[in-house]
Amino acid sequence: MALIYCPECNGAVSDRAVGCPHCAYPLQAALPIEATGKKWKGLALFAIAVATVGFGMAGGGVRGDVGARLIVLGVMLAIVSRVGSWWQNG
């Protein structure tokens, strides 16, 4: 454990701290958590979009086989995004 200096108030802070204990300035740990969260949320939204297109195609009857495959792909992507966000959050 090492001490670093807060860029806001110049107070001594542990390098493992999420934020400065003196002025509550957010330190490095806050950023990666939000970045991974958005990545998995984006994948979940993509999964919903793929499944929706699949349902539209299957419902139309013209491209029923392609639609069914897109629904399966969408469900798989949704599961991956769920497992991925769960894994990242530990």
Chain residues in the site for Zn ion (CB under 5 A): 6, 8-9, 11, 20, 22-23, 25
Identify which of residues 17 and 73 has a Cβ nearer to Zn ion in the complex. 17
| Least distance to Zn ion, CB of residue 27, Å | 9
Asked if 42 and 61 count as a contact pair (C-beta separation under 8 A), the reply is no
Identify which of residues 25 and 46 has a Cβ nearer to Zn ion in the complex. 25
| Least distance to Zn ion, CB of residue 26, Å | 10
Spatial CB neighbours of 47, under 8 Å, sequence gap ≥ 6: 74, 75, 76, 77, 78, 80, 81
